[in-house]
């Protein structure tokens, strides 16, 4: 009995172990963003995605494990010739992901290697359509063209290229030296242009200042002349007014007897002064026949004034 019991116990243990193994073989857990391709007797059966999945033990097997995450692959440096026959060394980084695990597994042997080689050939082809200067200026456009060409060619592989980034473009040393000389010439040119613009603006400012100075000086001279003319006019007017008032007062005084005498005296004095001045200016002096002294001259002047008064 003990032998039979031990035998049955061993059978139960074996069955339990077998059940555990079968259950373990029939249950698979697929991680997030991954896909398992199930093969049955070596033939594709189905694609299992993230979560709990069941398969037939000893019949079904996992043929491939594909990541659905975005992957980055370094594209090795390679030589390319531009449209203007310049040889370049170019490398880059390719970002892609698997959209259809079935095509990525059975459509190509090694999809990573295939898409990398496709990126290299496409990059050489696109660089051959561009000149050297454009490769530096239009790098974004070049990357976009490479991505579009790779996606078109990689569609049968179930691969989607998200973007391609050129890391470095290295031209030959001679071209680098020529580019540096060109850049230096451009910097010198810009500096000369800025300097000439500065000189031009400075000359304009000086000319504007001189023009403003001349205008202000002319306006000041004009105002000075106007003020001087106004002052002279006022002075002339004041002198004329004073003379008119003096003449008016003299005329009023001359109408009186005392005024007449004063006028006669003034005329006689002026006559004496005039003859004295003539005597100083000339060596020959003509005197009246009636006398040569001052009294006779005064008497003569008095008689003349009296005659004038009678005639008036």
* pLDDT tens profile 273-282: 766 666 666 5
CA distance 37 to 46: 6
* pLDDT band for position 290 (cuts 50, 70, 90): very low
Q: What is the pLDDT of residue 1?
A: 61
**DSSP conformational letter for 158:** T
Output the six-digit token pair for 167: 């890391």
Overall average pLDDT of the 264-280 stretch = 67
pLDDT grade, residue 2 (50/70/90)?
low
Q: 99 to each of 39, 102, 103, 163, how far by Cα in Å?
A: 19, 9, 9, 15
**Residue 73: predicted pLDDT:** 92
Domain 71-171, what fold?
Tetrahydropterin Synthase; Chain A (3.30.479)
Residue 201 has pLDDT above 80, yes or no: yes
pLDDT of residue 173 exceeding 60, the answer is yes
Pick the residue with more confidence: 191 or 5? 191
C-alpha span between 152 and 161 (Å, rounded): 10
Structure tokens that stand for 16 in this block: 């339990």
Q: In this predicted model, what pLDDT tens digit does every residue of 13-46 receive, in sequence order?
A: 777 787 777 777 788 888 898 999 988 888 888 8
Residue % of the chain over a pLDDT of 90: 8
Torsion sign (Cα): 60, 65, 69, 70: negative
Q: Which of 103, 97, 95, 101 is nearest to 157 (CA)?
A: 103
Tokens read off for 97 = 């992901």
**pLDDT tens column, 108-131:** 888 899 999 998 888 888 888 888
Give the model's pLDDT for residue 61.
Answer: 85
Rg (CA), the chain: 64
The pLDDT assigned to 93 comes to 92
Q: Across all residues in the chain, what is the average pLDDT? A: 79
Q: Give the position of tokens 């010198």.
A: 188
| Higher-pLDDT residue of 66, 12 | 66
Confidence of residue 210 (pLDDT cuts 50, 70, 90): confident
pLDDT at residue number 277: 67
The SS3 call for residue 13 is helix
pLDDT digits 0-9 by tens, 76-97: 888 888 888 888 888 889 999 9
Q: So what's the pLDDT on residue 254?
A: 62
């Amino acid at each position: 009995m003990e032998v039979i019991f031990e035998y049955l116990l061993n059978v139960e243990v074996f069955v339990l172990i077998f059940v555990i193994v079968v259950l373990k073989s029939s249950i698979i857990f697929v991680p997030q963003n991954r896909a398992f391709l199930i093969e049955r007797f070596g033939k594709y059966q189905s694609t299992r995605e993230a979560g709990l999945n069941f398969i037939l033990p000893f019949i079904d097997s996992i043929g491939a494990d594909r990541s659905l995450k975005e992957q980055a692959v370094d594209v090795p440096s390679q030589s390319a010739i531009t449209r203007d026959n310049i040889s370049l060394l170019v490398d880059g980084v390719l970002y892609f992901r698997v959209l259809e695990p079935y095509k990525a597994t059975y459509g190509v042997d090694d999809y990573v290697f295939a898409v990398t080689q496709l990126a290299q050939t496409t990059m050489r082809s696109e660089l051959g359509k561009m000149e050297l200067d454009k490769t530096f200026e239009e790098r974004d456009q070049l990357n976009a063209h490479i991505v579009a060409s790779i996606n078109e060619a990689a569609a049968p592989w179930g691969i989607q290229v998200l973007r391609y980034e050129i890391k470095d473009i290295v031209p030959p040393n001679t071209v680098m030296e020529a580019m540096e000389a060109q850049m230096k010439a451009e910097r010198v040119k810009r500096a000369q242009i800025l300097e000439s613009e500065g000189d031009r603006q400075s000359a304009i400012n000086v000319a504007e200042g001189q023009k403003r100075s001349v205008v202000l000086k002319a306006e000041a001279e004009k105002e000075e002349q106007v003020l001087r003319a106004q002052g002279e006019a006022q002075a002339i007017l004041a002198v004329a007014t004073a003379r008119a008032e003096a003449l008016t007062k003299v005329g009023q005084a001359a109408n009186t007897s005392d005024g007449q005498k004063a006028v006669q005296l003034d005329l006689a004095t002026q006559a004496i002064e005039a003859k004295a001045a003539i005597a100083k200016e000339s060596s020959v002096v003509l005197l009246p026949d009636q006398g040569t002294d001052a009294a006779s001259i005064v008497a003569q002047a008095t008689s003349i004034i009296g005659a004038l008064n009678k005639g008036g």
